[in-house]
């Protein structure tokens, strides 16, 4: 106690020596659950001007102008400068609390502020000439904030105050504030600046039966149409992958005349074998290698061979019933139909195949001249500073894909499971370990007894041993009712789009399952997929669209 009192007296006696100084650097550290965390944060204070300067990569600069009682956030994005000016009065107001603390020998008062359901305790002093906060949203006009604790465990605390002259480079006060914008506009610009967006397709029509002529050759960044217009394809140049990077595919789709729920697929065509799926698109399904099944049918281009790799499926999606085009024709009080379907998926696992010049395509099966409109973007998100600098490289190889992407050009439906399993031999190269299978499965047959509406067991075998089994099924289809204005309605109050289905709903993605294959060493192996296919009824039949990609780590 005697030491504590002495320390307080020393602090109070020392305050006059620096209390009148107006330039300083305040350094903050971090603790989580009582443990020290890496990194630091600095405030550069020069009179009424404060520069908030965190460590690491930043997309914006943050400042406080104390004389104006306002914050400034300045963003330089792709050569354009945007500024948000926000008065202190628009931030959450701190509430004074009983209790004090001494930080760096400085007596501090306590306040509390509530921000987005987070409780933040604030220790501050307004007895000094220097003022600021380590977080622009936390009490920016209260004084000098020396400690904050969020939800009782995430602590930011001042570790050092250095009184000295602040250089113009440290203050970094913006000479050009660019366009002064409102907060929604600014926040959108900030978010968009943090990642890179590459547009693959923009509002492209995917339909059937319209005349179109493809450009000659295999040109870059030109849209080609195949299979009666139900497949669009483009050769694009993709950037090299970076450590820690994440890649998302974002597809926006809406009806341009077709009212039905349709199978869709975003795919990439591997080009590292003598024959590729591009040969089939350009020259017809007869150019693809054939898988002869026990039912007597021949299935074109569905499994890998020594000379061929099937399309690498990036995203399996299903269009809703007529979103946008039929919204005005289905007016129901309280039903605010969506403008479009947005499908967004993390495809980082496939990045090793998505570099350099590659063919990217979208398939939507339909028989309508209006069809659908679709846009596709790849969004590249950088890793955190220092993340995965020594990460292992991956090996990615598509091994089967029974989705008949060339449906409208005669490619056979995935009906081989009635008397057979889908069987493929794979050759795992030396130096590959930790193999897993990225597996996507959806059942089709759109009548009461069809496999679309009947749960079916999927079994995966590796070298004759069953390694995985599950029943792919979705019971949440009613969640997406507002995407489906043209869906049929039944007398019991349900809509067709509400019904549970074999791993898909109108207006949803079908996510892959990852199946570990720890026993597969380098060398040749046999993979099999077995599904008890339902029997046909009249002209109606069931089919399964399954795709599989082997992924492993390179030593």
Q: Which two tokens stand for residue 60?
A: 């914006």
Closest of 27, 26, 53, 44 to residue 166, by C-alpha = 44
191-to-65, 72, 336, 379, 529 alpha-carbon distances in Å: 24, 17, 28, 12, 42
Domain assignments of the chain as residue spans, ordered by start:
2-188, 195-554
Q: Check if the beta carbon of residue 24 is closer than 8 Å to that of residue 164.
A: yes
Q: Check if the beta carbon of residue 119 is closer than 8 Å to that of residue 112.
A: yes
349-355 average pLDDT score: 97
**What pLDDT does residue 20 have?**
74
150-173 average pLDDT score: 96
Order of all β-strands in the sheet with 372-381: 196-206, 372-381, 246-255, 341-346
Q: What share of the chain in percent tops pLDDT 70?
A: 95
Q: Is 50 exceeded by the pLDDT of residue 14?
A: no
136-145 average pLDDT score: 95
525-543 average pLDDT score: 97
Q: Check if the beta carbon of residue 166 is closer than 8 Å to that of residue 25.
A: yes
Mention the CATH class of domain 195-554.
Answer: mainly beta
Q: What share of the chain in percent tops pLDDT 90?
A: 90
29-54 average pLDDT score: 93
CA–CA separation, 278 and 310 (whole Å): 10
Order of all β-strands in the sheet with 263-269: 223-226, 231-238, 356-364, 263-269, 312-318, 509-510
**What pLDDT does residue 4 have?**
38
pLDDT band at residue 58 using 50, 70 and 90 as cut-offs = confident
**What pLDDT does residue 392 have?**
58
Q: Is 50 exceeded by the pLDDT of residue 513?
A: yes
Three-class secondary structure of residue 4 per DSSP: helix
CA–CA separation, 357 and 221 (whole Å): 10
Q: Check if the beta carbon of residue 135 is closer than 8 Å to that of residue 150.
A: no
**What pLDDT does residue 59 have?**
77
Residues 419-447: tens digit of each pLDDT: 889 999 999 999 999 999 999 999 999 99
Residues 484-502: tens digit of each pLDDT: 999 999 999 999 999 999 9
Q: Is 80 exceeded by the pLDDT of residue 11?
A: no
Burial (CB < 10 A; 0-12, 13-18, 19+), residue 112, is middle
pLDDT band at residue 38 using 50, 70 and 90 as cut-offs = confident
Q: Check if the beta carbon of residue 318 is closer than 8 Å to that of residue 508.
A: yes
**Rg of the chain taking only CA atoms, in angstroms:** 30
- Architecture field, domain 2-188: Clam (2.50)
**What pLDDT does residue 118 have?**
96
CA–CA separation, 319 and 325 (whole Å): 13
**What pLDDT does residue 387 have?**
59
What's the 3-state SS for 15-38? HHHHCCCCEEEEEEEEEECCEEEE
**What pLDDT does residue 37 have?**
87
pLDDT band at residue 5 using 50, 70 and 90 as cut-offs = very low
Number of H helices, E strands in the chain: 4, 32
Q: Check if the beta carbon of residue 76 is closer than 8 Å to that of residue 62.
A: no
**What pLDDT does residue 222 have?**
97
pTM of the model: 0.90
Average pLDDT, the chain: 94
**What pLDDT does residue 397 have?**
98
CA–CA separation, 231 and 418 (whole Å): 28
**What pLDDT does residue 543 have?**
98
CB neighbours (10 Å) of residue 110? 17
Residues 232-284: tens digit of each pLDDT: 999 999 999 999 999 999 999 999 999 999 999 999 999 999 999 999 999 99
**What pLDDT does residue 163 have?**
97
Q: Which two tokens stand for residue 407?
A: 């449906």
Q: Which two tokens stand for residue 48?
A: 């009424």
191-210 average pLDDT score: 96
């Amino acid at each position: 106690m005697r030491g504590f009192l002495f320390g307080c007296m020393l602090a109070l006696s020392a305050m006059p020596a620096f209390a009148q100084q107006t330039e300083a650097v305040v350094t903050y550290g971090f603790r989580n659950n009582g443990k020290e965390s890496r990194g630091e944060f600095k405030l550069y204070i020069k009179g009424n001007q404060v520069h908030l300067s965190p460590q690491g990569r930043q997309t914006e600069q943050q400042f406080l102008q104390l004389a104006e009682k306002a914050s400034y956030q300045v963003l330089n994005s792709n050569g354009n400068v945007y500024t948000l000016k926000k008065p202190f009065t628009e931030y959450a107001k701190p509430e004074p609390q009983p209790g004090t603390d001494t930080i760096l020998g400085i007596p501090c008062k306590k306040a509390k502020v509530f921000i987005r359901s987070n409780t933040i305790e604030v220790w501050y002093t307004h007895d000094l000439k220097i003022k600021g906060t380590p977080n622009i949203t936390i009490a920016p006009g209260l004084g000098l904030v020396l400690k904050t604790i969020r939800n009782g465990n995430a602590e930011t605390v001042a570790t050092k105050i250095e009184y000295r002259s602040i250089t113009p480079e440290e203050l970094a006060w913006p000479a050009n504030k660019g366009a002064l914008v409102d907060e929604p506009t600014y926040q959108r610009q900030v978010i968009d600046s943090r990642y890179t967006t590459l547009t693959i397709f923009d509002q492209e029509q995917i339909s059937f039966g319209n005349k179109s002529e493809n450009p000659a050759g295999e040109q870059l960044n030109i849209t080609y149409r195949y299979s009666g217009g139900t497949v669009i394809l483009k050769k694009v140049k993709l950037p090299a992958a970076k450590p820690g990077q994440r890649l998302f595919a974002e597809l926006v789709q809406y009806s341009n005349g077709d009212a039905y729920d349709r199978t869709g697929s975003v795919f990439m065509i591997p080009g590292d074998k003598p024959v590729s799926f591009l040969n089939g698109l350009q020259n017809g399904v007869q150019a693809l290698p054939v898988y002869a099944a026990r039912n007597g049918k021949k299935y074109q281009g569905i499994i890998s061979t020594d000379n061929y790799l099937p399309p690498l499926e990036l995203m399996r999606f299903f269009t809703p019933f007529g979103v946008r085009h039929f919204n005005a024709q289905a007016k129901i009080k309280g039903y605010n139909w969506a403008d479009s379907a947005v499908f967004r998926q993390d495809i980082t696992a496939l990045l090793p195949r998505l570099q350099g010049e590659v063919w990217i395509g979208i398939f939507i099966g339909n028989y309508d001249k209006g069809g659908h409109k679709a846009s596709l973007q790849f969004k590249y998100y950088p890793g955190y500073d220092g993340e995965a600098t020594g990460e292992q490289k991956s090996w990615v190889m598509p091994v089967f894909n029974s989705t008949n992407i060339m449906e409208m050009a005669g490619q056979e439906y995935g009906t081989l499971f009635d008397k057979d399993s889908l069987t493929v031999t794979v050759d795992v190269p030396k130096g590959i370990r930790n193999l897993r299978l990225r597996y996507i499965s959806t059942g089709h047959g759109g009548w009461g007894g069809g496999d679309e509406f009947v749960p079916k067991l999927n079994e995966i075998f590796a070298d004759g041993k069953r390694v995985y089994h599950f029943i792919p099924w979705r019971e949440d289809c009613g969640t997406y009712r507002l995407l489906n204005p043209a869906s049929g309605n039944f007398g019991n109050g349900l809509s067709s789009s509400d019904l549970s289905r074999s791993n898909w709903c109108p207006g949803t993605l079908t996510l892959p399952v990852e199946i570990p294959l720890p026993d597969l060493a380098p060398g040749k192996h046999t993979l099999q997929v077995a599904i008890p296919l339902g029997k046909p009824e009249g002209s109606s039949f069931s089919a399964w669209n399954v795709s599989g990609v082997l992924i492993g780590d390179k030593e």
